Amino acid sequence: MNVIRIVLPVLLIAIFGNCSGGKKNGLLLPFLALLNNPGTSTASGSTGSTAGNTGSSGVVFVSGDGSGNPSTSTSVSSSSGSGSTSGNSNSAGNSSGTASSSGNSGSSGNSNTSGNSGSSGDSNSSGNSSSSGNSHTSGNSDSSGSSSSSGNSNSDGNSNVSGNSNGSNQSGNTAGNSSSSGSSSSGNSNSGGNQDGNGGSGTPTSAVVVVDDPKGNPPFNFNTTQSIPMNITILDKGSKPVAGASVLIYDDQNNLLFQGVADSSGKLTGTLTAPTSVGSITIDVTIGGQSISQYVQLDKVLGITRTIRYQTDLPDKKVADSDGDGVADDTDIYPNDKDRCTELSYPSEGVYTLAFEDLYPSAGDADLNDYVVQLKNQEDLNAAGKIVRLRGRYQHVARGAGYRHKLMLKLPVRVGATVSYRREDGNGKEKVAKNSTKVTADQLNAGIELLPDSSSTLDGQNANPGEVFKPGHVATVEIVFDTPVSRASLGSFPYDTFAHVISTNKDIHFPGLYKNGDGSDSYLDSSGFPWAILVPGSWKYPYEKQDIRNPSQTGYSEFSQWVASRGGDHKLWYQHISNEAKVFPVSDSSDFLGYLLLSVRKFAVLYAAGLLGIGGIALYFLRKKQVRIA
């Protein structure tokens, strides 16, 4: 028993002692990381005038005018310290949010309201509005038009309004919920100048986020991934650019989507790529070791365009930065390499599946198994958010047709690169030794080969009932650009990865990349169906001649509903198999099993120690039992 008392605590410390909530230093066991969802974090004290935005304490959200400034229809008001404001306070526009305050709130001086706030029109307040303590407002407040309030409105204590008041106590249009304790918060409090405001939870307003995010319905191209352009500007309390601010963006499973540093103009641009099933993201901005967070719902968001206006003095604390690239060591993936700071993976865990129909330009039979490849890409970015290196792993999975194919990659960049390549068969036997080749921009624009003739890279078809799955060849590729390239020039994952059909000398690309002369998509057939589709995970594609759209043949009954909704519903259709007899049983290592396998690879030493410990315990009990028998 003494052995158990020693070994078990050591194992527990070894495994769980390395778990942390940090995002870079996250040695969390992968299956525990599944429980960490920043998208569902409760943000206290954030005020939002735009739907779908919350943040850390002291962060205020306002609608923008398209140029990084609060719109003229947005109220600009902020209270300081104990909830009182002295001097002149000018407010213009609509205040969005349900205002709730507890404690004493007072405002002295002249309060003038212009624009849509407290002027003509309807004044509506929806949600719960409550006030406890003594609330007193002095000055003149005029409101004309109709005023309506829905929800519960409670007042606990004495509430007095002096001056000329006509209409409702709440000016402008109010929608959403915002609550604060301690100091007062008036509606959605937006600061347009240098004010120490109240962020809604008794803490000063630390930053005002001016939101100009474009919204709408994205075009439906059978995409299971979404690419969201990002433009962020960071200003200090004097409206001067903040260079060197670190920005990290995560999805709702805590997977890193982007990392970069603001340039000398305080700007940061890039593109976020994630499955369409991702519903929210977290934006962390760090300056001098201090961070603020924004939680953004992605419903109908076409881009992230916002200006962050700090309302407090920024810390001048120096953080460790060994390579001097402007990215702190604790978030720098490559702390000793000034040319790289971030590694982005697509997907974060597991693989994606590329599935092609190869009869282009004729319509196919929609079994999506003529040529199937699994892939995973990784990018190395520098502090400016430009791509320095691109890596990929490509494995041939199925060939459910008689045609021969090659997998190609076209990159429309203006610089050359060094391409390293290696290929092995499905059993790990080397077929092409690692080699490096210098290529020009013209060669990258035309396309480089990733996998050769499909008739030589897979034994069998992996597409018919009764077949035993046989893994195909695997190619590993690294492209090191001569100079870093922008996201705009490279494109977003999966870039322009396409199949060249050797038998017909035709190229098959993803929809959304090429247009016909009449504006129609070059790679959607006459019925609007694609010849190529990208699916997250080790996808179990249909058996040969099983039309994924046909109710009597499909193994995915939600696919047609997903298409009918133009991608709005059933975003995880590929995870919900309705008929296992209609799909090929591809080995799946991208879900929970994949997490466990990844965990074993990442924490091999810990698990080895654990296995040795368990083996020691078992041996101890076995010997003890043998002694008793003897």
Domain positions in the chain are: 51-66+204-324, 339-589, 596-624
What was the pLDDT predicted at 626?
54
Q: Which of 183, 193, 213, 232 is nearest to 48 (CA)?
A: 213
Q: Is the pLDDT of residue 497 over 50?
A: yes
Q: What is the pLDDT of residues 356-381, one digit of tens each?
A: 999 999 999 999 999 999 999 999 99
DSSP state string for 395-462? EEEE--SSS-EEEEEE---SS-EEEEEEEE-TTS-EEEEEEEEEE-HHHHHH-EEEE--GGGS-SS-S
Query: How many angstroms separate the CA atoms of 463 and 422, rounded?
Result: 26
Query: 225-235 and 267-275: which strand pairing?
Result: antiparallel
Statement: residue 556 has pLDDT above 50? yes
CATH number of the structural domain 51-66+204-324? 2.60.40.10
C-alpha 627/C-alpha 245 separation (Å) is 66
Q: Which helix (H) or strand (E) holds 593?
A: helix 592-602
Q: What is the mean pLDDT of the chain?
A: 76
Instruction: Report d(CA 542, CA 557) in Å as an integer.
Output: 12
Lowest-confidence pick of 180-184, 423-427, 577-581: 180-184
- Evaluate if residue 167 carries a pLDDT over 80: no
Planar angle of CA 47, 51, 57, nearest 5 degrees: 25
Q: The tokens of 164 are what?
A: 């000329």
**Average pLDDT, integer, range 204-228:** 93
Reported confidence tier of residue 625, pLDDT bands at 50, 70, 90: low
Average pLDDT over residues 400-420: 97
pLDDT at 294: 97
Taking CA 38 as the corner, what is the angle to CA 34 and CA 40, rounded to the nearest 5 degrees?
95
pLDDT of 587 reads: 80
**CA triple 124-158-137, angle to 5 deg:** 60
Average pLDDT over residues 538-546: 96
Q: Average pLDDT of 295-300? A: 94
Query: What integer is the mean pLDDT of 403-413?
Result: 97
> Could you tell me the CA-to-CA distances from 137 to 38, 83, 160 in Å, in that order?
39, 12, 7
- Checking if the pLDDT of 6 tops 90, the result is no
Run of H or E including 507: strand 506-508
What is the SS3 assignment for 619? helix
Dihedral over Cα of 105, 111, 116, 121: its sign: positive
pLDDT at 437: 97
pLDDT in tens, 447-473: 999 999 999 999 999 999 999 999 999
pLDDT at residue 14 in the model: 47
pLDDT of 570 strictly over 60? yes
- Per-residue model confidence (pLDDT) at position 222: 95
As a whole number, mean pLDDT of residues 530-553 equals: 96
Residue 420 pLDDT > 90? yes
In single-letter form, the type of residue at position 367 comes to D
Answer with the residue of higher pLDDT: 216 or 90.
Answer: 216
Residue 617 is predicted with a pLDDT of 73
Mean pLDDT on 138-164: 41
In the structure, what pLDDT confidence band is assigned to residue 12 with cuts at 50, 70 and 90? low
pLDDT band per the 50, 70, 90 thresholds, residue 318:
confident
Distance, CA of 477 to CA of 419 (rounded, Å): 7
pLDDT band (50, 70, 90) for residue 23: very low
DSSP 218: P
Query: Could you report the per-residue pLDDT of 63-109, keeping only the tens digit for each?
Result: 999 988 998 765 543 333 333 333 333 333 343 343 343 434 434 43
- Average pLDDT in the 107-116 region? 40
pLDDT at 619: 62
Q: From CA 217, how far away is CA 379, in angstroms rounded? A: 28
pLDDT for 164 equals 41
> What's residue 326's pLDDT?
86
- Predicted confidence (pLDDT) per residue in 469-496, tens digit: 999 999 999 999 999 999 989 999 999 9
pLDDT in tens, 585-620: 998 653 334 333 334 444 455 555 666 677 667 666
- 141-142 and 165-166 beta bridge pairing: parallel
Compute CA distances 312 → 46, 198, 208, 438, 444, whole Å. Answer: 16, 12, 10, 51, 48
Tell me whether residue 219 is exposed, middle or buried, using C-beta atoms within 10 angstroms of its C-beta: 0 to 12, 13 to 18, 19 or more: exposed
pLDDT > 90 in the chain, percent:
56
